[in-house]
Structures are given as structure tokens and as C-alpha cells.
Amino acid sequence: MDMRVRKAVIPAAGFGTRFLPVTKTVPKEMLPIVDKPVIQYIVEEAVRSGIEEIILVTSANKKALEDFFDTNFELEANLAATGKHELLAKVRHTTDMASVTYVRQKHPLGNGHAVLAAKHAVGDEPFAVLWGDDILLGEPPVAKQLINAAVRAGGPVVGVRRVDPEDIEKYGIVEIERIEGRVSRALSVVEKPKRSAAPSDLAQIGGFVLTPEIFDILENTTEGTGGEIYLADALNVLMKQRAVFAYEFEGTRYDAGDKLDFLRATIELALADPEVGDGLRAYLSRRNLTENRRTQ
């Protein structure tokens, strides 16, 4: 199968319970990091990776997420009339940067169910899966690294990253058979194993490049805990049917669904921002000096 990837599925239908109460009305994907929402970072990296169509899997409470990629005629007219051309360009960029298709996940039945909801929009071609709260920044972009690995290997790819022993129980851990460099054969995924039972220290992080047969597997996947359908279960079936590969990507990852990591992303990306970086750096320097004096 030709492994050229044109579409990316981004599940973004979850409730964002770790950020309540703000996510009661604001989707977690719309929480701002500096002046851009989380979802914009993800879509921009996908577009940089050669993705032509974004398939956002949303739910009834994610209207703001859908509106963000739509045109706001009143706002644009106001910015044009007041000569705020730089801001106008930023606003239009969110509309023009990608073709966005919206699919509703009608019931919160797990990440596998969310991917399955995009079946009709993906069609019969390989596609990427990127999570709506996972900001991955790399050069080349992380999604592009996975796509390149899929093209070279001629099969599906799971993005992986080494994690500390104390974090193993937080992730799906991939059992591998080393091939060469950053590429391995993925043999199985063990969801949140005990440290002593983990098959490796490679966590399923970074997204996926999948082939369309995953949809048939998902349709026949038995519901797991809480009546949910998990992508990891379908991947384990796929790994028995054909070669699936693991790729250790290079880049920075922020789990924007975690409060501490969200704050880390905000600080680090703000420090790199040409508009506010110097000011924030000076503030942090002064604050550190003040805190040191208080403890002396």
C-alpha cells in the first residue's frame, strides 16, 4: 500500500475533566498557550508535515473548537477597518491553514471509538492520528518523522518515547523487537502496566500512522473497562495480522491535558515568543532574586 499520508484524525471530544471547572464551557483544546489555543499548535505541526485535511472528532460541547477554524466576518471586517493588518493576518491564518472536516463522536466510548467515528471521512487510505491535547514540536515535525518512517517501512507506525520508570504506569507501553536506529518492530501494547511487568520503557506517545484496516478491527473490538473501545486493543490485533513499527521520535512533547505540563508549555513557549519572551525572562529573573532574598 502507498503510505503517503494526506489526512490526520484528531480526537477532541473528551470532557477535559482534569481542567474543570474551566472546561465546563471551554474545550480543553481551546485553552490558550500565549496567544494560540492548544489545537492550533497541533494543526500547524500537522500541516508542516504535509497533511492536507484535518478530521476533528468533536462532541456537542465543542462548538467553540469548530468555530475557531471558521471565518468570523464581523471580526475580520473590524480589524480591516481599523488597520490592524497583523492581527487580521493571524485570524485569517486559522481559517486558511488547513481544510478541516468535523465528525461528531455521539457517545464518549473511548479513544478507539473516536478514531472509528472518522472512518467515512478517512476512506481507504493511510492516515495519521494525533491527540488533541498533545503538543509535539520537532524539526522535522514529529508527525512528519512518523510519516517518513511509515513510508520507509511500508506499514503502520506507532510513535514512542522512553519514559522514566516511575511514569511507566501512566502509559501504554510497547513491546518491541529492535530493527535499526530509531525503528523497531512493535509486537504488542500493554496498557498502564506495573513497572515490574512492563515489556520496555517505550511509551506509546507521539501519535500514529495507521492503515484503513484498523477500522474493521475497531468495529469488532470488544468493549473494555467502562464500556469503552480502546485503540491499543485494536493495535494488538493489527500487530498479529501484519508488521507494525515503532519509531522513537525526536522533539519536545507537552501534555497539555496535564496542569503542570500545561504550565511548562506556557512558560517555555512564552520564553521563545519574540513579543513577550524578553519581558518574561526579565520578570522571572527578578522574581528569582526576590525569592532568594526572602529565604536568606
If you write DSSP's letter for every residue of 74-115 in order, what string do you get? HHHHHHHHTT-HHHHHHHHHHHHS-EEEEEE--S---HHHHH
pLDDT of 291 strictly over 70: no
The band of 109, judged by pLDDT with boundaries at 50, 70 and 90, is confident
Pairwise CA distance, residues 240 & 237, whole Å? 5
The whole-number pLDDT of residue 293 equals 53
pLDDT of 147 strictly over 60: yes
If you write DSSP's letter for every residue of 116-141 in order, what string do you get? HTTHHHH-SS-EEE--TTEEEE-SS-
The whole-number pLDDT of residue 44 equals 96
Residues shown for the chain: 296
- Residue 3's identity, in one-letter code, is M
Q: Class of 7-257 per CATH?
A: alpha beta
pLDDT of 3 strictly over 60: yes
Grid cell at residue 220: 469488532
Cβ–Cβ < 8 Å for 75, 123? no
pLDDT of 1 strictly over 80: no
According to DSSP, the residues that pair with 227 across neighbouring strands are: none
Residues of the chain with pLDDT > 90: what percent? 83
So where are the chain's domains?
A: 7-257, 258-296
pLDDT of 295 strictly over 60: no
The band of 55, judged by pLDDT with boundaries at 50, 70 and 90, is very high
The mean predicted confidence, pLDDT, of the chain is 92
Grid cell at residue 46: 500537522
Average the pLDDT over 21-49 and give the result: 95
Pairwise CA distance, residues 223 & 225, whole Å? 7
The whole-number pLDDT of residue 228 equals 87
Question: Among 50-59, 66-75, 283-292, which is the least confidently predicted range?
Answer: 283-292
Pairwise CA distance, residues 46 & 129, whole Å? 10
Enter the DSSP assignment of 160: E
Question: Among 122-136, 182-196, 218-232, which is the least confidently predicted range?
Answer: 218-232
The band of 106, judged by pLDDT with boundaries at 50, 70 and 90, is confident
Backbone angles phi, psi at 189, to 5 degrees: -120, 130
pLDDT of 15 strictly over 90: no
The helix (run of H) or strand (run of E) holding residue 190 is strand 183-191
Cβ–Cβ < 8 Å for 238, 156? yes
Cβ–Cβ < 8 Å for 207, 130? yes
Q: Residue 125 in 3-state DSSP?
A: coil
The band of 4, judged by pLDDT with boundaries at 50, 70 and 90, is confident
Enter the DSSP assignment of 200: -
Residues 6+ apart with CB under 8 A from 275: none
pLDDT of 289 strictly over 80: no
Alpha carbon distances (Å) from 233 to 21, 172, 230, 236, 288:
32, 10, 6, 5, 47
